[in-house]
Chain A
Amino acid sequence: AQSVAQPEDQVNVAEGNPLTVKCTYSVSGNPYLFWYVQYPNRGLQFLLKYITGDNLVKGSYGFEAEFNKSQTSFHLKKPSALVSDSALYFCAVRDMSPSGTYKYIFGTGTRLKVLA
């Protein structure tokens, strides 16, 4: 079965500094990977996805992610963090069930705190 792991429960970074939120995956076949962000008491919002093609994927709000097949990683990055980036970030992978339908497996989430 597919899975993703987010090894850090929390990441702290100073405003203006680059940020990285880590995600590693375990899949059979080609991975379909996603990043979502969640603000307090809200649903998740899509940031970016990797399906195929360039290893550097650009997404919303200045975020990007680097797909690394050899390291089975899909880390989320941003060159310059903003206080408003403080939120809970989820990595996800698409999985196929035995019945042939698709579902999504989410990581446990990483809380990002950007300090002014």
Chain B
Amino acid sequence: DGGITQSPKYLFRKEGQNVTLSCEQNLNHDAMYWYRQDPGQGLRLIYYSQIVNDFQKGDIAEGYSVSREKKESFPLTVTSAQKNPTAFYLCASSMASYRLAKNIQYFGAGTRLSVL
């Protein structure tokens, strides 16, 4: 899974609780992404960031929040507003978008979030 570390591997959320998923990369990549994977739905983009201190909403951002204070780190918070958080969450990174030839994504091993 390259130089991207996601933690924890498994996470349980109680009703009304916010939880934070960690994603760290040592690949010196500018861009980072969060995806949610549900069976039969493929990967859906939650948030993405091209540079530090900037990020954009993806297709399913409601109930989630992110920050990008450091190039290496892109944590995802699943808030209590996300009513159906049970899923497999994947973090990815890539080089800056203008470097077309290098523009593949590297993925972490994922975090499986369940609701208690």
Chain B interface category by residue count = 20 to 34
Q: In the complex, A102 Cα to B96 Cα: how many Å?
A: 9
Additional A-B contacts beyond A99-B56, A107-B42 (7; CB < 8 A): A36-B107, A41-B109, A46-B104, A51-B101, A103-B58, A104-B33, A104-B45
The residue on B at minimum CB distance from A48 is B104
Q: Is the CB of B42 within 8 A of A108?
A: yes
Contact residues in A for B90 (Cβ distance below 8 Å): 43-44
Q: In the complex, A32 Cα to B100 Cα: how many Å?
A: 9
Q: Is the CB of A46 within 8 A of B106?
A: yes
Q: Is the CB of A42 within 8 A of B110?
A: yes
Contact residues in B for A43 (Cβ distance below 8 Å): 1, 4, 6, 90, 92, 107-110
Chain A residues bordering chain B, tally (CB within 8 A): 25
Given contacts A32-B103, A94-B103, A101-B48, contact A106 B109 (CB under 8 A): no
Identify which of residues 2-46 in chain A touch chain B, using a CB-to-CB cut-off of 8 Å.
9, 32, 34, 36, 41-46
Interface residue? A84 (CB, 8 A):
no
- Chain A interfacial positions (CB closer than 8 Å to B): 9, 32, 34, 36, 41-46, 49, 51, 90, 94, 97, 99, 101-109
The residue on B at minimum CB distance from A110 is B42
- Chain B interfacial positions (CB closer than 8 Å to A): 1, 4, 6, 31, 33, 35, 40-45, 48, 50, 56, 58, 88, 90, 92, 97, 100-101, 103-110, 112
Contact residues in B for A36 (Cβ distance below 8 Å): 105, 107
Q: Is the CB of A103 within 8 A of B48?
A: yes
Q: Is the CB of A102 within 8 A of B97?
A: yes
Contact residues in B for A9 (Cβ distance below 8 Å): 40
Contact residues in B for A107 (Cβ distance below 8 Å): 42
Q: In the complex, A107 Cα to B108 Cα: how many Å?
A: 19
Partner of B42, one of A41, A49, A109: A109
How close is A38's CB to chain B, nearest CB, in angstroms? Answer: 8
Contact residues in B for A46 (Cβ distance below 8 Å): 104-106
Partner of A106, one of B31, B43, B88: B43
How close is B46's CB to chain A, nearest CB, in angstroms? Answer: 11
